[in-house]
Structure 1
């Protein structure tokens, strides 16, 4: 899995990502739910090449420390490191940086599921 060791992406903080817009607070800075969505986006893409066709990964656990604000218009860089992946379960660490400071960090876990079976169990298909 050497090719999956670390993945990153940049996200621009838009109005829709602000705490006041998502209902997680009344301030105009990056919301914690939006930060988590950025993390899950990078983590999902980072693992996508490691699962068989018809399978995907879904988030099952997160520990997130939101340490500093990021204003609208800023760019947040999210870096995810695959700490362990046994083919069924992945444990990842992450960091989010913006404006020269650490915005957030934590741990995220994902599991591999058969996409059709998962959606069927969820009542989507």
Structure 2
């Protein structure tokens, strides 16, 4: 892993489709708006985008913490754009400020943390757990 600078930024955009809605993703009684877990997915992808240029071959980064507020509803057909900014780096642990907006307003804000991993050793540890 190369040095990840504070202030490194990444984005990720997703068009909201029916499969991203709370009433399809979680429970049919919920309104037809973007599900919070999908908003979090968009934010996590923005964070990974921010640090991808600094990862060496065979490295990735997995999410370890998320603390967000879902502020506004987004219906199907809208684009949601998430932004992530590196605010702290401690060894392989990276902290981000994250936000998400649709075409009308900011829909989510919070913080996110990722840990840089070596894919080979990670997959070896995973294989030791075996299959159920």
Per mean C-alpha deviation after superposition, the further-off stretch among 88-97 and 39-48 is: 39-48
Instruction: Report the equivalent of 1:118.
Output: 122
Trace 1:1-125 onto structure 2 (pairs within 5 A): 1-2=4-5, 5-23=8-26, 26-123=30-127
How far, CA to CA, are the matches of 1:15 and 1:53 in structure 2?
36
Larger Rg: 2
SS in 2 for 1:122: helix
Aligned equivalents of 2:19 and 2:7: distance in 1? Answer: 30
Unaligned regions of 5+ residues in structure 1, if any?
Answer: none
C-alpha separation in 2, matches of 1:91 and 1:4: 11
Partners of 2:20 and 2:34 within 8 A in 1: yes
CA distance in 2, matches of 1:8, 1:58: 17
Query: What TM-score results when the alignment is normalised by the length of structure 2?
Result: 0.85
Deviations 1:56-95 (A, max 9, x none): 1000000010010000001111111111224411000111
Mean CA deviation greater in 1-10 or 44-53: 1-10
- Give runs of ≥4 in structure 1 deviating > 2 Å: 1-4
Specify the SS of the correspondent of 1:52. coil
* SS in structure 2 of the partner of residue 119 of structure 1: helix
- Secondary structure of the residue that 2:46 maps to in structure 1? helix
Any stretches of 5+ residues in structure 2 without a counterpart? none
Give the drift of 1:99: 3.2
Aligned residues: 125
